[in-house]
Amino acid sequence: MEKPHTTRKFLPHATMAMLVITVVAASLFGSGCIGDKDAETSAQSMKLQVTGSTTVLPIADECARVYMETHPGSHIYVSGGGSSLGIKSVADGIADIGTASRDPKDSENEKYPDLVLHAVAKDGVAIIIQSGNPISDLTMEELRKIYTGEIANWKDLGGVDAEIMVVSREEGSGTRDCFEQAVLKPIKQEITDYAIIQDSNGKIRTTVAGNKDAIGFISLGYINSDVRAVKLDDIEPTVENVRNGEYAISRTLWMLTNGDADEDEQAFLNFVLSDAGQKLVSDVHFIPVE
């Protein structure tokens, strides 16, 4: 039987050359040979939300700033709101990393069992007064009596005849929790109802700086020339005294993830804990972790 006749059409040489170039170019893009720059940009691009403690805020801010400078394409958004918000936000998936200046409470650990804590710094809580106040030293017992309302006038402590303005952080604050654990929990007492409540270290500092009869407590890293930190049982609230354990009111500062950190979260945490990151911790007047 005679086979059917087939006709083959051949492309002109110029057309064939163009086709080969197109196919080769497509394969190069597909394999990433030409797209390496785009792949690198994608790998460097990250977005993180860091939320929580106003104490940890300067650390998170400074580390985020330097990290973004050295990792183009990275976007790290940092906000405060308090330790309780930081713990809740990371557990609820609103934040990628939470920050806290206290340990999670038993109720929080029960509600959020997947929390993972990463120690990033140490800190002390300083007792502050206005610079013009003549008081320079308080005992722990005197401090307890001030914050429970038992001592209400500076003259009872060798100062002027003036009513003491007690200033405190809000409930849920890690700084308040640290203060209460060290000062009031041993005697099972609470802060007086007459205390003026402020919701950040900065606001307490501003309030105390603006009233010669006020007393407050703030993170060591927030002390400036507007206020004066008093000795507690003759021990100054300094970095060295917190590090060696002599100063009575101290704590660990945390960053938290919900479960194990993902690649982007771990990259930022690694930076915070690196030599460069821990130098930034010192630069903002906190104490690097050992």
- CATH number at 107 reads 3.40.190.10
**Number of separate domains in the chain:** 2
Give the pLDDT confidence score for residue 170 in this predicted structure.
95
Whether 200 and 240 map to the same domain: the answer is: yes
Q: Are residues 132 and 242 in the same domain?
A: yes
pTM across the whole model: 0.78
Indicate whether 225 and 142 sit together in one domain.
yes
Range of the structural domain that residue 173 is part of: 123-250
Same domain, 105 and 159: no
Do strands 214-219 and 165-169 pair parallel, antiparallel, or not at all (unpaired)? parallel
Is 54 part of a structural domain of the chain? yes
The CA distance from 194 to 95, in Å, is 35
CA 270 to CA 263: how far, in whole Å?
10
Q: Are residues 69 and 173 in the same domain?
A: no
pLDDT digits (tens, 9 = 90+) for 120-157: 999 999 999 999 999 999 999 999 999 999 999 999 99
Q: Are residues 147 and 80 in the same domain?
A: no
Task: Give the side-chain half-sphere CA count within 13 A for 22.
Answer: 6
**DSSP codes, 62-96:** HHHHHHHHHSTTEEEEEE-S-HHHHHHHHHTTS-S
| pLDDT score at 44 | 58
One domain for residues 108 and 151: no
d(CA 151, CA 267): 50
The stretches of 4-50 forming alpha helices (DSSP H) are: 13-31, 36-44
Q: Do 80 and 187 belong to one domain?
A: no
Considering the domain boundaries, does residue 36 fall inside one?
no
**Quick one: CA dihedral 101, 96, 200, 112, positive or negative?**
negative
pLDDT at 143: 98
At 9 the pLDDT is: 39
- What confidence score (pLDDT) does residue 117 get? 98
CA distance 181 to 103: 11
pLDDT less than 50: residues of the chain: 1-43
Cα–Cα distance for residue pair 25/222, rounded to 1 Å: 58
**pLDDT (0 to 100) of residue 6:** 37
Which residues are registered as beta bridge partners of 168?
Answer: 197
Q: Residue 85: what pLDDT?
A: 97
Distance CA 158, CA 208 (A): 19
Measured in whole angstroms, how far is the alpha carbon of residue 113 from the centre of its chain?
21
* Pairing outcome for strands 115-130 and 165-169: unpaired
Please report the pLDDT score of residue 45 as a whole number: 80
Judgement on whether residues 228 and 278 belong to the same structural domain of the protein: no
Please indicate, yes or no, whether residues 63 and 118 belong to a single structural domain of this protein.
Answer: yes
C-alpha pair distances (Å), 128 with each of 175, 188, 198, 217, 237 = 14, 23, 14, 6, 10
How many of the other CB atoms lie within 10 Å of CB of 1?
Answer: 3
